[in-house]
Amino acid sequence: MAEGHGPGRCRCCAADGGERGAAWGLHLRIDRGRLQCLNERREGSGARVFRAWEERGDREQFVESDEDAELLFNVPFTGSVKLKAVIVMGEDDDSHPSELRLFKNIPQMSFDDAAREPEQTFSLNPDPVGELEYPTKIARFSNVHDLSMYFPKNFGAETTKIFYIGLKGEWTEAHRHKVTICNYEASPNPADHRLQQVTPQSHCIS
């Protein structure tokens, strides 16, 4: 087996950096105003891990869980996405997440919802440099407008820390349909149908 390759992941080390960075551009298609990270210690920190592949080495930007090891991201997109792979970059210690469960099209998913069957589950390996790619079952992720990423545990630390999450795939603009709103009367209201008073006129013919 070639170095850097293994079940469920691929380093793709020979790929050109610029081309590879462009492939991980779905962070530009996230609806940031509706993005959620549940159990984040610092408010707003979860949104910062979704950034350009070339910026993944910024160790100042990370999210850490609060009361336990769980983290849950609800990632809404501005259109329809075909998700092909993910990258999860953590610390080089036990705080790195050890499992990822992916769910699709469950807006504002909660931890209670995470008990249901996921679309796909990954056993994660420690990746402190953001190189390991986890390919998805594309047939299950071909029409995604809301992606939920649940990290239930890590390698043994009290809290989980993530520096970067990469999303690879294709984006299609959402189609907007015009809606015609019609109001129908169940019974006529005389006040809405007033007629101007007509004065009778007599016409005489001589």
The reported pLDDT for the residue numbered 188 is 53
Beta bridge partners, 180, equal none
Beta bridge partners, 10, equal 5, 133
The reported pLDDT for the residue numbered 20 is 77
Residue 34, pLDDT > 70, answer yes
Bridging pattern class, strands 99-104 and 63-64? unpaired
Residue-range domain boundaries for the chain: 8-170
**What is the rounded average pLDDT for all residues in the chain?**
85
Where are the extended beta strands (E) located within 15-70? 36-38, 63-64
Bridging pattern class, strands 120-123 and 63-64? unpaired
How does pLDDT run across 141-184, given as a tens digit for each residue? 999 999 999 999 999 999 999 999 999 999 999 775 544 454 54
The reported pLDDT for the residue numbered 16 is 56
Plot region of 56 (φ>0 → left; ψ -120 to 50 → alpha; else → beta): alpha
The reported pLDDT for the residue numbered 189 is 56
The CATH architecture assigned to 8-170 reads: Sandwich (2.60)
The reported pLDDT for the residue numbered 6 is 43
Q: Give Cα 194 distance to the centre of its chain.
A: 54
What confidence category does residue 17 fall into, taking pLDDT thresholds of 50, 70 and 90? low
% residues pLDDT > 70 (the chain): 76
Which tokens belong to 10? Answer: 């691929």
Residues 80-94: what's their mean pLDDT?
A: 97
Residues 1-11: what's their mean pLDDT?
A: 44
The reported pLDDT for the residue numbered 130 is 96
Within the chain, residue ranges assigned H as helices are 17-23
Does residue 206 or residue 176 have the better pLDDT? 176
Beta bridge partners, 122, equal 100
The reported pLDDT for the residue numbered 167 is 98
The reported pLDDT for the residue numbered 12 is 46
Q: Measuring CA to CA, which residue among 38, 86, 36, 42 is closest to residue 60?
A: 42
Residue position matching structure tokens 């793709």: 12
